[in-house]
Structure 1
Amino acid sequence: MQHRPLPCLSSLLSLCYTGVYGHTHEVMDGGLISTAPGQTENGWPTSGCEEPVLIVCATHSVHGSCAKTQITVSVEVRVAICIWRLSTNLEYRSISHLFAVGLSTCCLITQEVVTAINVILKPKYLKHPSAAEFRLIAQGFRDRWRFPQVAGAIDGTHIKIRAPPDSSSDYFNRKGDYSIILQAVVDHKMKFWDINVGRPGKVHDARVFSLSSLYEQGSAGTLLPHHTEMFEGIDVPLFLLGDSAYPLLNWLMKPYPEGGGVTPQQLNFNHRLSQARMTVERAFGRLKGRWRCLLKESEAHITFVSRIVSACCVLHNYCEEHNEEFLEGDYAVEQTEGVRYQEEVNAQQQPNSIRDALCHYFSAM
């Protein structure tokens, strides 16, 4: 069954066809379906649409420095072409047929709008939170999972690509696919506030992390506000939640290693951390469920795949901010547990104290 575009974006597509053909069409299951003016077949409105920001974005792609196409295609149709490409598994050839636009023109339009999304929308919809916003995020994690001082959850996911002609072995991951890695941090509402995309699939999550600007800022003490709370006599700062693939740091908590020596209290801590960290796994599931171009092997040049992924993350945040409906059954939560990070002996005394303090706090609840 052909995947349908998102309802709020489908209303935009209906508007596009109204502008092109003079009456409303909905693109569904590979064909055009004529419907009554004012609504789509499923009753989605074709007015009051919340996509003017996308129109502005596409207008930039027409008039801005990234414009390459000389063929006259309306801004609305440019948006529709790009959204169809990103949110479905349709090939360019099929999209070209649906919109009666040349194949090469479809490719160029998608590149232009994706670039414009990253230039125009990314600074607004995917940005580093302010101190006040971090307080809301921490309160959100506390209210939902009873886990204090959490500023975000971090994880990585693989985006499949075609084997690049050069250094292809670097992109061959442990699951047997060629890929690039998306590292992301999400808030309590599953919105991304930091992404790093493009590292080869063979690279370990901890290495991707250590090479990122996120790590650089965290190490310099500029990533998170200096807001501490006392637990068991220890000042606990704001921190991120990660799985066992990440190092234990003052600003990044991970589970206790599970083995013969793990205590019931530590297992309880691990369970609570896992529940709260599920936020990022759910975000990846929703990202790929909405923007299904990320589920298949990308045919784009490897340098442009990163821009596509970034644009999809921006649009994901846009949809979450506008409360776009998403059925949980439409995706599977990703299981992204990486290879365990080997801690240096005696190198993590302060982070260990923070984790132990939280562990004791949870045990007393």
Structure 2
Amino acid sequence: MDQSFLLMLSNLLHLHNYLDPTTSPLLSSTTLSSSAADATSTSAAPLLFFTLASVLSYLASHPPTKKPRKPSSPSPSSAAAKPPSEFSVAAFRALSTEHIWAMEAPLRDAQWRSLYGLSYPVFTTVVEKLKPYITQSQLSLPSDYAVAMVLSRLAHGLTLKTLASRYALEPYLISKITNMVTRLLATKLYPEFIKIPVSRRRLVETTQGFQELTSLPNMCGAIDTTPVKLHKISPDTINGSMYTCKYGFPSVLLQVVADHKKIFWDVCVKAPGGYDDATHFRDSLLYNRLISGDIIWDKAVSVRGQHVRPYIVGDWCFPLLSFLLTPFSYNRTGSPPQNAFDEALMKGRKAVEEAIGLLKGRWKILQDLNVGLNHAPQTIVACCVLHNLCQIAREPEPELWKEPEENGQPPRVLENEKSCYYYGESLRQVLADDLYQRLSSR
């Protein structure tokens, strides 16, 4: 019972005893006269009325308080309907349009890289180029928010479940947005940012860059492959065993050609991880264009009377051709000129090895690709486009992803390649002799 109510009753009894002392408990009932008893009964009625009126007045002025209801725990659906503030559209909008410009540029870009894998200016470039296509799709989310969501997945390798929880969206919608953005990167932005160096200016810049690295003239690219690990592969995939690469995990094979700045100028994802490098190369569009003479590099130099056109270099797992030079041996067991050439060639190949290391270091989804097999190629190519954007913008280079050591035997020469093979063999020896003479005369 309320303590104030008890106090009020106590005061009323005290008042009653003060007004009618005959009712005091200190007096014996046997000492009461009949007249006193009559007086008591007469004075009790007004007091009773007074007491009841006071009680009713108190109750009217102090309505009973309702016991607060214990808040019910929200249902999973209602909880999911409210996005976490840190990753909500409103929070993203506040960060990207207001707070971001109040920060110092290095701090701003470092924060953006930690979230989305690239600096804020590069991010806005991607958004501006993709926005017209995303707008046409009538997506219910803002274009920059959708791009940020996909970049966070590519940069950190987040799963659909993790992203769905973080952004309070259904997994199927996350998958839809990822497929749309990676497809746009792989198709709409690919021609702009991944180009074969056929223009005179770019060709001269590339060959001069490689010559500074290797001392070999007219090198215009370095080729290599890397298996991109698949998170899982469906048991009913046709020829599923072909996806198991030489390192023992399911994968698809990525082939890239990079320049001296570690920028890709050709990307091909066309084969399961179980294919060898030579087979994958021969199935590529680049090989068909080179062997047919479709690609014409209008820059040639003369070395010891030999007409040397631009060429690319690869390891011993690729075929030796007029436009693709490989080492004489994999363990430096050739002559001094041949060993000098092999050492120089491997310096050129280091550019593509580091480019692949940067690619997988920046876009960690490529370390364990958690997308469907049908969407794997476009996701890989999208990451290659983003890699080039970062290299062109001179973004800080992350820690390199370390590739396993590669071993293999030189591939056999195909019948249609024999003329290219013999020319490549002659060209390689001429370059080796010339390089060794120049090194010896220093």
Shorter-normalised TM range: 0.7 to 0.9
Distance 1:330 1:193 in 2: 20
- Conserved? CA contact 2:135–2:143, under 8 Å: no
Q: What is the deviation of 1:169? A: 1.2
Residue of structure 2 equivalent to 1:39: 103
Residues 281-305 of structure 1: per-residue CA shift (max 9 Å, x gap)? 1000000000000001x23221210
Structure whose alpha-carbon radius of gyration is higher: 2
CA separation of 1:107 and 1:68: change in aligned 2, threshold 3 A: farther
Compared CA separation, residues 177 and 331, structure 1 to 2 (3 A): closer
CA offsets, 1:128-179, max 9 Å, x none?
2232211211111012222211110011110112234221011112211111
TM value normalised by structure 2: 0.70
What's the secondary structure of 1:153's corresponding residue? strand
Please state whether the residue corresponding to 1:44 is helix, strand or coil: helix
Unaligned runs of 5+ in 2: 1-86, 113-118
1:207 CA displacement: 0.7
Q: Contact 1:142–1:149 (CA<8 Å) still a contact in 2? A: yes
Read off the aligned partner of 2:383 and give its amino acid letter.
C
Distance of aligned partners of 1:105 and 1:251 in 2 relative to their CA distance in 1, 3 Å threshold: same
- Please tell me whether the aligned partners of residues 285 and 334 of structure 1 are also in contact (alpha carbons under 8 angstroms): no
Q: Show the counterpart of 1:176.
A: 248
Secondary structure at the counterpart of residue 122 of structure 2: coil
State the partner residue of 1:263: 335
Q: Is the 8 A contact 2:198 2:296 kept in 1?
A: no
Inter-partner Cα distance in structure 2 for 1:127 and 1:226: 16
1:21 positional shift: 5.8
CA distance 1:196–1:344, change in 2 (3 Å): closer
136 and 331 in structure 1: CA distance in 2 versus 1, 3 angstrom threshold? same
Structure 1 residues 155 and 48, CA gap change in structure 2 (3 angstroms): closer
Residue type at the aligned position of 1:314: V
Answering whether residue 180 of structure 2 is matched by residue 112 of structure 1, we say yes
Q: Supply the AA of the counterpart residue of 1:324.
A: E
- The letter for the 2-side match of 1:289 is G
2: CA distance between counterparts of 1:259 and 1:39? 53
Matches within 5 A, 1:66-105: 67=137, 69=139, 72-105=140-173
TM-score (norm 1): 0.83
Contact 1:282 1:333 in 2 (8 A): no
Identity score, percent: 25
Counterpart amino acid of residue 367 in structure 2: L
Alignment correspondent of 2:233? 163
Aligned twin of 2:344: 272
Q: Which residue of 2 aligns with 1:359?
A: 432
CA distance in 1: counterparts of 2:191 and 2:100, whole angstroms: 38
Q: Following TM superposition, by how much is the alpha carbon of 1:42 offset from its aligned partner in structure 2, in angstroms?
A: 7.6
- Corresponding residue for residue 214 of structure 2: 145
Matching of residues 132-281 of structure 1 within 5 Å? 132=200, 133-161=202-230, 162-164=232-234, 165=236, 166-258=238-330, 262-281=334-353
Contact 1:205 1:245 in 2 (8 A): yes
Is 1:308 matched with 2:379? yes
Do the aligned residues in 2 keep the contact of 1:243 with 1:337 (CA within 8 Å)? no
RMSD (Å) for aligned C-alpha atoms: 2.8
Give the residue type in structure 1 aligned to 2:334. V
Residue 29 of structure 2 is matched in structure 1 by none
1:206–1:341 Cα contact (<8 Å) kept: yes
* SS in structure 1 at match of 2:381: helix
| Residue 219 of structure 1: how far off its partner (Å) | 0.7
CA contact (8 A) 1:281 1:336 kept: no
Which secondary structure state, in structure 2, belongs to the residue aligned with residue 217 of structure 1? Answer: helix
CA gap of 1:39–1:254, structure 2 versus 1, over 3 A, is same
Q: Does 1:341 align with 2:411?
A: yes
CA deviations on 1:42-99 (whole Å, 9 max, x unpaired) are: 82258972333321344244333xx385xx2111210111000101022222222322
* Matched position secondary structure for 2:281: helix
Gaps of 5+ in 1: 1-15, 26-34
Q: What secondary structure does 1:43 align onto? A: helix
The correspondence for 1:318, drawn from 389, 399, 407, is 389
Contact 1:183 1:209 in 2 (8 A): yes
Q: Is the 8 A contact 2:336 2:436 kept in 1?
A: no
Distance 1:239 1:350 in 2: 12
CA deviation after TM superposition for structure 1 residue 20, in Å: 4.1
2:81 alignment partner in structure 1: none
Report the 3-state secondary structure (helix = DSSP H, G, I; strand = E; otherwise coil) of the residue aligned with 1:199.
strand
Deviates more, 1:305-314 or 1:107-116: 107-116
Contact 1:282-1:334 within 8 A present in 2 as well: no
Q: Which has the higher strand share?
A: 1
Measure, in 2, the Cα distance between the counterparts of 1:92 and 1:81: 11
